[in-house]
């Protein structure tokens, strides 16, 4: 087989790249290790920046998102027995976030690709990339070979793409946090119309949602926490202890339908390209979920890569391809800082560190009392425009 761009990974990055390239007349084949059912059911982040929503609308794949997504114009920071709303409509007019599950974005992109006969292969085995430093790279999988002009590694942190880059080429930056998130999905109506980020001495908690009937919650727990140590009764008791800290707020409880523990870490690989291989999304960088940036960074990468590849096929120039990594990394590091900042602002690091707790309280007071500080949070949370890093 031959195609112009071979894409490894059928997550949001790979599927959106394939769709955007199709709109620009560039052919691609998408290869995915997992089954279609698995990738469509895999629950991940659900907060879409303004620019991500705009990109999906422009690409013609947002009908269901606009119909079912929950548009939010603010978030609440809850600490010290009070809630403080960060009002996006006032601080960054015209920009907001939309709550719409990542798996729903994946479903929409798969449906769009299949509607025009795009080539996507699920459950492929023994995927390997070859000759990535040459002008004739190719992919092998099973007993087949796919020749390409370019390769896009969109296969996540544990995928094969980044590991195919020769040793010594990449500089890797990483940080592990001394806690994890216990996340649950519950069949219960949200107790708040907007997301609540709660800082409590017991640990961080997040109240989110997926639909008018389904809520999403997170608890800060130990890095080696085991799910069997968290029966339903303990989960709800701890959520209540951390969220029912303001007068008049009662947390609704219900059936827990899914749960999992997510490690908290930051990672960046530089450069995000080698030869004819270009990394996008989690294959190149990951962030702690506190800032809701993972999926949105993948979309930003894909926008840059689409334009670079389309320009190459239009006029043969490689300046955008040559500058892909530098362009993406300016935004990646801004998101890394924001995610680190939100994480350190809201989590308990050491219960005996009174000095650290007072610093956190001072910073929270500043963010909730200073328009300039609140604007910094708001514009980073809803996503910087794409004409900025």
Here the tokens at position 173 are: 């930056």
307 vs 121: CA distance, rounded Å: 24
Question: Is 293 assigned a catalytic role?
Answer: yes
- Residues 192/380/78/215 CA torsion (nearest 10 deg): 30
Residue at 365 is within a domain? no
Catalytic residue among 197, 218, 274, 324: 197
Which residue, among 162, 41, 188, has the nearest Cα to 101 in the 3D structure? 41
Does 52 fall in a domain? yes
The reply to whether 239 falls in a domain is no
Which residues does 341 contact at the CB level (< 8 Å), separation at least 6?
Answer: 291
* Inside any domain, residue 106: yes
Contacts of 327 by beta carbon, 8 Å cutoff, 6+ apart = 304, 320
Omega before 271 within 30 of 0, i.e. cis: yes
Q: How many structural domains is the chain composed of? A: 1
Taking each helix axis as running N to C, give the angle between helix 294-315 and helix 12-23, from 0 to 180 degrees, rounded to the nearest 10.
30
12, 19, 22, 72: which one is catalytic? 72
What token pair was written down for 187? 């069949």
CA 32, 36, 42, 47 dihedral sign is: positive
Distance CA(215)–CA(109), nearest Å, equals: 24
- Residue 383 CA, distance from chain mean position: 12
Mean pLDDT of 198-225: 95
pLDDT digits (tens, 9 = 90+) for 67-77: 999 999 999 99
Report d(CA 56, CA 109) in Å as an integer.
9
**Is 107 an annotated catalytic residue?**
no
pLDDT digits (tens, 9 = 90+) for 319-376: 999 999 999 999 999 999 999 999 999 999 876 688 888 999 999 999 999 999 999 9
Residue 289 bears catalytic tag:
yes
Marked catalytic residue, from 100, 218, 278, 381: 381
Out of 73, 285, 293, 347, the active site residue is 293
Q: Is 120 a member of any domain?
A: yes
135 is a domain residue: yes
Neighbours of 356 (CB within 10 A): 14
Q: Which of 12, 22, 289, 324 is catalytic?
A: 289
Q: In this predicted structure, what is the pLDDT of residue 356?
A: 87
Orientation of helix 371-382 relative to helix 324-346, angle to 10°: 130
Q: Give the pLDDT confidence of 77-107 residue by residue, as tens digits.
A: 999 999 999 999 999 999 999 999 999 999 9
Residue 240 falls inside a structural domain? no
CB 254 within 8 A of CB 186: yes
Instruction: Give the CATH number of the domain where residue 107 resides.
Output: 3.50.50.60
Residue 269 in domain = yes
Taking only the tens place, the pLDDT of each residue in 102-134 is 999 999 999 999 999 999 999 999 999 999 999
> Which structural domain, as residue segments, surrounds residue 330?
5-71+96-173+265-350
Count other Cβ atoms within 10 Å, centred on residue 257.
Answer: 12
- pLDDT tens by residue, 3-60: 999 999 999 999 999 999 999 999 999 999 999 999 998 877 789 999 999 999 999 9
């Amino acid at each position: 087989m031959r195609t112009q761009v071979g894409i490894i990974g059928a997550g949001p990055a790979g599927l959106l790249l394939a769709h955007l390239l199709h709109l620009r007349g560039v052919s691609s084949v998408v290869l995915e290790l997992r089954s279609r059912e698995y990738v469509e059911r895999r629950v991940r982040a659900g907060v879409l920046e303004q620019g991500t929503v705009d990109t999906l609308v422009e690409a013609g794949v947002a009908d269901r998102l606009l119909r079912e997504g929950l548009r939010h114009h603010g978030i609440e920071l809850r600490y010290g027995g009070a809630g403080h709303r960060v009002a996006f409509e006032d601080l960054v007019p015209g920009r907001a976030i939309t709550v719409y599950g990542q798996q729903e974005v994946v479903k929409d992109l798969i449906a769009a690709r299949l509607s025009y006969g795009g080539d996507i292969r699920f459950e492929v085995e023994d995927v390997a990339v070859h000759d990535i430093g040459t002008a004739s790279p190719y992919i092998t999988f099973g007993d087949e070979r796919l020749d390409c002009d370019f390769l896009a590694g969109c296969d996540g942190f544990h995928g094969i793409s980044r590991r195919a880059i020769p040793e010594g080429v990449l500089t890797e930056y990483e940080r592990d946090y001394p806690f994890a998130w216990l996340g649950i999905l519950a069949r219960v109506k949200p107790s708040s119309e907007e997301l609540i980020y709660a800082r409590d001495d017991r640990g961080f908690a997040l109240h989110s949602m997926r639909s008018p009937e389904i809520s999403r919650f997170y608890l800060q727990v130990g890095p080696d926490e085991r799910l069997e140590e968290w029966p339903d009764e303990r989960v709800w008791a701890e959520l209540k202890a951390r969220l029912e800290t303001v007068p008049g707020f009662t947390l609704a409880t219900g059936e827990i339908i899914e749960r999992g523990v997510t490690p908290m870490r930051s990672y960046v690989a530089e450069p995000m390209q080698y030869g004819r291989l270009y990394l996008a999304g989690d294959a190149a960088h990951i962030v702690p979920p506190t800032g809701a940036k993972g999926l949105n960074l993948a979309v930003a990468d894909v926008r840059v890569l689409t334009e670079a590849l389309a320009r190459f096929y239009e006029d043969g120039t490689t300046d955008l391809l040559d500058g892909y990594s530098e362009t993406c990394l300016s935004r990646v590091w801004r998101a890394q800082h924001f995610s680190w900042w939100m994480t350190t602002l809201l989590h308990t690091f050491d219960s005996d560190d009174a000095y650290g707790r007072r610093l956190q309280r001072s910073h929270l007071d500043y963010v909730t009392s200073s328009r300039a500080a609140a604007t910094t949070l708001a514009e980073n949370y809803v996503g910087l425009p794409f004409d900025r890093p």
